[in-house]
Amino acid sequence: MTDKTHWKRLINPDYIGAYFLPEGKDLTVTIDYVQCEMITGTGGKKEECIVAHLVGVKPMILNMTNSKSITKLYGPYVEDWAGKQITLYASTAKLAGESVECLRIRPQVAERVPPAIANDRLKRAIESIRKGEYTAQKLQANFTLTLAQQSDLDKALAEMAGAGMEAVNA
């Protein structure tokens, strides 16, 4: 099944919203920095808001609920939030008597599961390990390997160790 595109993603707003998350999934992000900014809302209304700038994704406007959630995780000082991870999930809230989609922050950070690695990329990584440009430890920390891929890596490491290249895996 292919992922579907939420209509709000086509508008390309400046801030992340519930529509940004894959359907039914959470998203763990890292806070880069937090500051107050003047935001132009619906109908051109300007308002000062707290904005969390996130690494690799659009910034998120923090309402009181989400600010309190981060406070419970990392304390009340926004400077201490930089570099910290939060896990976002889609929820709903009442706004002017209507139920609307919103982003919420989980009370704990989800454990990061490294993504799978494609076989062709694994082959390139193993070549980089052979050349001393990369390590097996970094590969295993950054990607989830299948049993077959782990076996391929183990064979390559054994070949390198047999060739006197033990330092490559350090």
Residue 7 confidence (pLDDT)? 56
The pLDDT, as a whole number, for residue 5 is 58
Mean pLDDT, residues 11-30: 81
Q: pLDDT tens digits for 73-111? A: 999 999 999 999 999 999 988 888 888 888 999 998 877
- Distance (Å, whole) CA 110 – CA 26: 8
Is residue 58 a contact partner of residue 14, using CB atoms and an 8 Å limit? yes
C-alpha distance across the termini of the chain, in Å: 41
Cα–Cα nearest to 26, from 113, 87, 69: 87
Q: Is the pLDDT of residue 9 over 60?
A: no
- Amino acid making up residue 20: F
Q: Residue 111 contacts by C-beta under 8 Å, 6 or more apart in sequence?
A: none
Average pLDDT rounded to a whole number, residues 58-76? 95
CA count, 13 A, side-chain hemisphere, 167: 4
d(CA 104, CA 21): 11
The domain locations on the chain are 7-105, 119-169
